[in-house]
Structure formats: structure tokens, C-alpha cells
Amino acid sequence: MRVHLHFYDESRWHLHDETRIRGKGIKDNEPVPGKQLASDIQNLDAASHAAKFAKDLNGSWAWVRIMDDKVILCVDHHRSVPLFYATDGQDVWVSDEAGWLYHQFADALPDELLASEYLVLGYVTGDQTITGKIRQVEAGTATEIAQQNGHHTGKSKKHRDDTEIQDSSVHSSGDSTGNSSGKSEGNPGVHIRQHRYFRYVHRYRSATKKQLLLDFDDIVLQTLKNTTDYADGRPIVLPLSGGYDSRLIAATLKRMKYPDVRCYTYGQQSSKEIGVSKSIAEKLDLPWTCVTYTKEKWRAWFHSAERRMYYRQASGLAGIPNIQELVVMGELKEKEWLPGNAVIVTGHHGGLMPGGRGVYDSYTYREHPEMNMDTVISHVMHYHYYLWNWSEKHDDLYPFFRDRITNTLAPEEDYPDSPSACESWDFHERQAKFIIHAGRLYEFMGYDWWMPWTDLDYLRFWLQVPLEFRHDKNLYTDYILSLPPHDISGYYPKSKILSIRDKIKNTPVFSISKKGYHTYMAWKRMKSVYDEHPLAWYGFINKTDFKGRYTGREHINSFQSLELLRVIFENGFLSVDDVLARAVSSLEALSGPATGRSEMNSG
């Protein structure tokens, strides 16, 4: 078996015999020396052994171990470092850059069904990418690609945490329905086995709010200690927004007396978050700067060679690149405000665990939280599969998207309630594929980075917190309000409409009025968002084109997903309607117009 490796930045990967390692491991709250980690990994000769070892390995890391007859790929529980792979006969290609793999194969063609998911979601769920030829290692998973001699014809059965794929030189990755089958036609193929070692599922403990607050304080301090251990005296640079997640990092680092913490923020001059960020930094006596965003800056950046290079590096095959901080990073680097040895420490991922993404705002979730898969699917569809309006193709695409959602989740009986299942889906898909993917941005700019709120022990704390303390993030908010100095806890004033929403959101009136609220907000955005968005980022889109497509529901990610489909596949997808129509045609070809599509086993 021949293994072909390519890494975007070889200097970040370290070679130990036949093992490539990147990142930092933490065990028992202590950093694991690189040589010790390499030695431990060298003893792992199967994906099941790798998964067992990785289960309690904290930190941000990935590794590739090559043996004579197999290769093992493993990423951490939040996939801070992505790994992609493709096979052809007994040749295996592995990279942290999906775009490189794409250019190795003339038959790496787009899957029209997966393209529709990418369009409305912004990423591809499960272990697939837009092209069926290339796969990704999922968060909290070890993947073993082993040599398989002789002929094999078969169809794999997909399990939840132990997946087997029969792969061959003829049909290397299966189709978008999740079925992987093939006939080797005289050429030996490979056998792929995946072991999931971490799944985000709650197991509640019985505890008072007072006890949970005390325990949370210990967890926060230990999590930030892991951060400062990683920084090891280097300057810590913090993107300080008006929200609580980065604010908690700033306050705790000040409390720990870390010697060099600097903060920055960004946005249009009219953004309220800039004032909040500046006020917090001043009260904590931390150096602070701001970069003003304008539509002109975004337009210039989008048409630059730098943007094209970044898109190639971040790759659009699995998820759209995170662009929010590219302009500010570029300016701060040019002005030499960012030290070359700085570690960018961010609040990414912090909003999910305490009760995020709208799960706890509705009356239904407070009064009827019991596990119900229909409720979970409805929630995920509403909050995630929303980038473009696909209602005209709803009857055709809903069964496909529904099956994609349920395939990510553990068996229904594993979850204590619907909110737990919603958070689990969010963790394994949106967080791993898009939020944490922001790390590629910092790497592209040449900086090291760390995301404290992905810490394994921090996650395990929240997995024990009962739902009643996650409603409206009440435990988290109470903790923030208790932080010294107490005057850093205030958030910027809300509009009258948001104040009214907060008063009724846990009453039956909210469900009735929600549709009217969304209609009003869409109308308001249509009138002003192009010129007045706090980040000004719609400036990279021609205003006439923007007005022709924007209906009030779309987001910047909507325009990115469509643009990337056009770029990746050389204008193969011309419009939203074209992408959706192709997906429906693909479904009809797979199952036939008269076949019940809901019976498809999607991957």
C-alpha cells in the first residue's frame, strides 16, 4: 500500500519514525511531551486502539501513522486540525488541505445531492465532502485504512460509532446516500474502519446551582491554565467582542495575572460592540485596538490574490471558509501590532454548551423538553439548513436532509431530552465544520492559535449540567455577572423589539408571535443590512446583485456557499435554483420518481 502525504504547512507537523503529529496533547491537566506522545502513538496498530488512547487525550492535535499494510488517521474531539483522504486501488492520499486532494483526481466530481446540502447549510455533514471521492475524518474519530487483497463485492452496513466501509479502485467512496459499495475488477482495494471515541451526549448530575457555580469556577481556571501553559509566556492576543465568551477569557487571564494579554476588535464605526469591547478592556487595564471595517475594504480584499490563496488553503470542499477576521488580521499584521510569536486565543465555541443557538428560547422547549426526534429535526432544519430558501423543493429534499441529520446523531434513546440531541448535532457538525474552522484563518496569516472553550474537561462539565440550568444560559450568565470587576458584565443596550422578545420568549405568546417577529426583522434587514451591517462585509458583493438575491433571510454565508460552488466546479452551478434542481434530478435517478425517498439510508 502506498501512502501519499501533503500538508499545507509542513513546519507544523513533526515526523517521528512513520508517524506525523501536529498540535499539543494534554493528559491529567499536564502537557504531554512530544516524544512521549509519539512513543505512545507508535504502539497503536489499529483504529480501535487509537480511539481508546485518544478518548482522554485533551488539547488540540491530529496524527497520521503509516504502517506497511495500513494507515491510521486520528483527530481530536473537536477536529481542530482537519484531515482528508482519498483512495485509488491500494494508493492512499492524505492531507489537511482538501483542495490539494481534489486536484489529484480527474474523477473527483461534485455530488449534486451533497452540493445542495452545502448550499443551504454551508458545509457537508458526516465524513463526506462535496465530491464523493474525498472524505474527511470526523471530530472525535479514528480512521483506519487497511490493505485488502483479493476481490470484494459488497455493501457496508453503517453503524453509529463503529463504521466499516468496503472501498475499491472502481468505486472509492460510495455515494451521497451513505452506501459504499464496489467491485475491484482484479485490483485490490482497501478496507476503511472508523471508530468514534467521543460523542457529545449529556449525562446529568444532581447538584445545586451553587455547587455547579463553584465547580464551574474550578473548570474555568483549569481551562485557562491549559491555555497559558500552551502560550508559555508568548503574547496572548484576544479578539474581544461584546459577548460573554471572549469577555470571560479576558477577565480570567487578568485574574491569573498572565503578563502579556492584548485585545482587538473590529467593525463599522457605528457598531455598538466596539464601544463595549473598549470599555471592558479599559476596566481590565488591557491594551486594546480597533480596526474599522468598510464595504470598500471588503471589496478590495475579495478581489485580491490573498483572498484566492486563502480560499485554496481553507478549501471549500467540506465547508465554507471563515472570513470574519481576515481584514482585521491583515491590517494588524501590516501595522506590526501583532507580534510574530503571538498566540491568538479566541472565544469560539463558547456559546453552545451553556445553552446556545436558540434551543432554550421557546416555550415548547421549556414545557416539553422530552426527547422527540421530530422536534430535533425541526430545530436543526430551522436553525441550520436555512442559508437559501429551498421551500419549493421541500417535498423532494426534506427526506434527504432529514436522514443526513439523524445519521449524525446517536440512537434516540441515548439522549435525555431534545435539547441535548440538538446540541450534539451542533457540536459534531456546525462547530467542527465551521466555527472551529476559523483556526485556518489564523494559520493562513502565520499565527498560532488556541480555543479554550473546546477543552475536553470544559465540555464534560457542561455535559453534566441539567437542562434547567442551561435555559437562557442562566448558570453561565450568573457566573459572568459575579466576575470582578462587576461592571464588565453589562451588555450593550438592546432595541425595543428585542426587549419585548425577551419578556415573552418563555410564554405561549412567543410561539404565536415568532412568525410576525421574523417577518418584521426580514423587512428591516432588507432596508438597511447592505450599508449598515456591523461588519460591512456585504460590500464584497455587487449591490445590484445583492438586492436581486437578498430577501431578508440570507446571511453572508449564503453568498459564500453559492460563490464557492461556482468556483470549485468552474461555473457548473449557476444559481440557487440550478443547484436545487440538480439535487432533485439526482434523487429521482437514484430512487425513481415513484419510490419512497424517505426510505433512503443517507450518510
Number of domains, the chain = 2
Let me know if residue 13 belongs to a domain: yes
The radius of gyration of the chain's CA atoms, rounded to the nearest angstrom, is: 24
**CATH number, domain at 190?**
3.60.20
By C-alpha distance, which of 47, 143, 126 is closest to 601? 126
* H helical segments located in 353-445: 363-367, 373-383, 394-408, 418-426, 439-444
Tens-digit pLDDT profile for residues 480-538: 988 887 667 665 545 565 567 667 766 767 666 766 766 776 767 777 899 999 999 99
Q: What's the CA gap between 274 and 242, in Å, rounded?
A: 7
- 40 and 142, same domain (yes or no): yes
User: Per the domain annotation, does 369 fall within a domain?
Assistant: no
Query: Does the pLDDT of residue 64 top 60, yes or no?
Result: yes
For residues 161 and 15, state if they share a domain: yes
How far apart CA 569 and CA 218 sit, in angstroms, is: 49
End residue of a domain, out of 196, 221, 238? 196
pTM (global) more than 0.85: yes
pLDDT confidence band for 98 (50 / 70 / 90)? very high
pLDDT of residue 304: 92
Highest mean pLDDT among 182-191, 193-202, 465-474: 193-202
CB atoms < 10 A from the CB of 332, how many?
20
Same domain as 188, residue 217: no
Residues 154 and 51 in one domain: yes
Q: Tell me whether residue 602 is in a domain.
A: no
Query: What pLDDT sits at residue 334?
Result: 92
* Domain assignment of residue 524, yes or no: no
**Can you give the pLDDT at residue 173?**
35
As a whole number of angstroms, the distance between CA 354 and CA 427 comes to 12
pLDDT one-digit tens code per residue, 549-580? 999 889 999 999 998 888 777 656 678 999 99
**What residue numbers bound the domain in which 435 lies?**
209-354+421-491
Mean pLDDT of 14-39: 91
Do residue 147 and residue 126 come from a single domain?
Answer: yes
Task: Determine the Cα–Cα distance for residues 29 and 342; give it in Å rounded to an integer.
Answer: 23
Q: Are residues 277 and 312 part of one domain? A: yes
Residue 601's pLDDT is 40
| 92 and 10 both lie in a single domain | yes
pLDDT exceeds cutoff 90 at 390: yes
pLDDT at 351: 85
Peptide linkage before 485 cis (omega within 30 of 0):
yes
Q: pLDDT class for 110, splitting at 50, 70, 90? A: confident
Instruction: Please give the average per-residue pLDDT across 475-481, as a whole number.
Output: 92
Residue 167 has pLDDT above 70, yes or no: no
Do 140 and 18 belong to one domain?
A: yes
